[in-house]
Amino acid sequence: MSAPIKLAYYPGCTMKNHARNFEDATWSAMASLGVEMEELKRWNCCGTVYSLAVDDIMRRLAPIRNLIRAKQGGASEFATACAMCYNTIKRANNHVKEYPETLSRMNEFMDQEPDYHGDVSVTHLLEFLRDKVGFEAMGEKVKKPLKGLKVACYYGCLLMRPRSVAFDDPENPKVMENLVQTLGAEPVDFAHKMECCAAYKTVDRPDIVADQTYKILTSAKGQGADVVMVSCPLCAFNLDQRQELALERHPELRHLPVVYFTQLMALALESGETALDSKRHHIDPRPVLAAKELV
Amino acid sequence: MTVSINPDKTRQAFIKKVESISRQNLKACYQCGKCSAGCPMAAHMDILPNQVIRYAQLGMMNELLDSQSIWNCVSCMTCNSRCPKSVRIAEVFEALRQVLLRRREDHLFTQKLSQKTLGELPPIALIGSFRKLTS
The residues spanned by each domain of chain B are: 25-103, 108-135
What's the rounded mean pLDDT across residues B79-97?
Answer: 97
CB environment B71-97: b (16+ within 10 A), e (fewer): bbbbbbbbbbbbbeeebbbbbbbbbbb
Supply the pLDDT for residue B8.
81
Q: How many CB atoms lie within 10 A of CB A34?
A: 14
Q: What is the H or E stretch that residue B125 is in? A: helix B123-133
Structure confidence at residue B61 as a pLDDT band (50, 70, 90) = very high
What's the rounded mean pLDDT across residues A194-214?
Answer: 97
Indicate if the alpha-carbon torsion angle A26, A32, A35, A36 is positive or negative.
positive
Is the pLDDT score of A29 beyond 80? yes
User: Among A113-122, A184-193, A274-283, B26-35, where is mean pLDDT lowest?
Assistant: A274-283
Q: Give A162's contacts in chain B (Cβ within 8 Å).
A: 77, 80-81
Supply the pLDDT for residue A105.
97
Asked if B122 and A233 come within 8 Å (Cβ–Cβ), the reply is yes
Predicted confidence (pLDDT) per residue in A48-96, tens digit:
999 999 999 999 999 999 999 999 999 999 999 999 999 999 999 999 9
Supply the pLDDT for residue B3.
72
Asked if B132 and A200 come within 8 Å (Cβ–Cβ), the reply is yes
Asked if B94 and A212 come within 8 Å (Cβ–Cβ), the reply is no
- Per CATH, the homologous superfamily of domain B25-103 is Alpha-helical ferredoxin (1.10.1060.10)
Q: How many CB atoms lie within 10 A of CB B15?
A: 18
What type of residue is A256?
L
Indicate if the alpha-carbon torsion angle A90, A94, A99, A101 is positive or negative.
positive
What's the rounded mean pLDDT across residues B13-24?
Answer: 97
Distance from CA of B116 to the nearest CA of A (A): 12
- From residue A137, alpha-carbon distances to A124, A131, A185, B24, B111 in Å are 18, 11, 17, 45, 51
What type of residue is A50?
Y
Predicted confidence (pLDDT) per residue in A87-136, tens digit:
999 999 999 999 999 999 999 999 999 999 999 999 999 999 999 999 99
Distance from CA of B37 to the nearest CA of A (A): 13
The runs of H, that is alpha helices, within A99-242 are 100-109, 125-128, 135-140, 175-182, 201-204, 206-222, 233-236
- Work out the angle at residue A88's Cα, subtended by the Cα atoms of residues A82 and A90, and round it to the nearest 5 degrees: 95
Supply the pLDDT for residue A250.
98
3-class state of residue B94 by DSSP: helix
What's the rounded mean pLDDT across residues B70-99?
Answer: 97
Distance from CA of A203 to the nearest CA of B (A): 7
* Residue from A88, A171, A195, A200 to probe the interface with B (highest B Cβ count within 10 Å): A200
Give the one of A203, A208, A237 whose C-beta lies nearest to B72's C-beta.
A208
Give the one of A54, A171, A200 whose C-beta lies nearest to B125's C-beta.
A200
Is the pLDDT score of A2 beyond 70? no
Asked if B121 and A237 come within 8 Å (Cβ–Cβ), the reply is yes
Sketch out chain A's domains with CATH numbers.
Answer: 5-125 (1.20.1050.140), 144-291 (3.40.50.11810)
Structure confidence at residue B5 as a pLDDT band (50, 70, 90) = low
- From residue B119, alpha-carbon distances to A24, A247, A280 in Å are 22, 22, 14
Rounded CA gap, A193 and B26, in Å?
Answer: 31
User: What is the end-to-end Cα distance of chain B in Å, rounded?
Assistant: 34
Is the pLDDT score of A1 beyond 60? no
Contact with chain A for residue B35, Cβ under 8 A: no
Q: Give A87's contacts in chain B (Cβ within 8 Å).
A: none
Q: Give B131's contacts in chain A (Cβ within 8 Å).
A: 47-49, 51, 59
Q: Closest by alpha carbon to A173, among A77, A52, A79, A83? A: A83
Give the one of B22, B40, B125 whose C-beta lies nearest to A237's C-beta.
B125
Give the one of A53, A198, A202 whose C-beta lies nearest to B41's C-beta.
A198
Rounded CA gap, A140 and A128, in Å?
Answer: 17
Beta bridge partners of A36: A6
**Looking at chain B from residue 44 to 73, which residues have their Cβ under 8 Å from any Cβ of chain A?**
44, 72
Q: Give B127's contacts in chain A (Cβ within 8 Å).
A: 13, 45, 47-49
Bin A290: left if φ > 0, else alpha if -120 < ψ < 50, else beta: alpha
